[in-house]
């Protein structure tokens, strides 16, 4: 595989994997705070 193609691929993959796991982990950490279905939080 050519080095330019390899660099393009690895940089893109790293960026996407980093942001996906970063945002997903952050959302999971706050799992209990929001969207948990607890009735006392219902302001509708």
Partner 1 sequence: MSQQKERWASRIGLILAVAGNAVGLGNFLRFPAQAIDNGGGAFIIPYLISFALMGIPLLWVEWAIGRHGGQYGHHSTPGMLDVLGKSPLFKYFGVFGIFTNLVVAAYYCYIESWTLGYVWFSITGAFNGMNTDQVAQHFKNYLDSGQGNFLNLPGTAFIFFGITVTLNLWILSKGISAGIEKASKILMPLLLVFGVFLAIRALTLTEGTMGAQHDAIEGLNFLWTPNFNSLWDPKVWLAAAGQIFFTLSVGMGSIQCYAAYLRKKDDIALNSVSAGFTNEFVEVVLGGSVVIPIAVAYLGLASLTSFSGFGMSFMTLPNLFQYWGPVFSVIGGVVWFGLLFFAGITSSLAMGQPVMAFFQDSFNIPRKKSVFIFGALVIILAIPTIILYDHGAFDEFDFWAGTFSLVVFALAESIIFIWIFGIDKAWEEINRGADIKIPIFFKYVLKYVTPTFILIIFLGSLISPVGGEWSQAFSQLFSGNGWPLAPDSVIGKIFHIGVEDRDNIWVTNLTRMLLMSVYLLFGYLTYKAWKLKLKKEK
Min CB(7)–partner 1 separation in Å: 9
Query: Does residue 26 interact with partner 1 by CB under 8 A?
Result: yes
Query: Can residue 40 be called a binding residue for partner 1 (CB under 8 A)?
Result: no
Q: Which residues of 6-37 are buried (b: 16+ CB within 10 A; e: fewer)?
A: eeeeeeeeeeeeeeeeeeeeeeeeeeeeeeee
Altogether, the residues listed in the chain come to a count of: 44
Residues that bind partner 1 in the complex, under the rule CB under 8 A: 1-2, 4-6, 8-9, 12-13, 15-17, 19-20, 23-24, 26-28, 30-31, 33-37, 41-44
């Amino acid at each position: 595989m050519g080095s330019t193609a390899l660099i393009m691929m690895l940089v893109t993959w790293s960026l996407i994997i980093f942001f996906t796991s970063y945002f997903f982990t952050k959302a999971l950490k706050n799992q209990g705070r929001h969207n948990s279905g607890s009735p006392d939080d219902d302001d509708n």
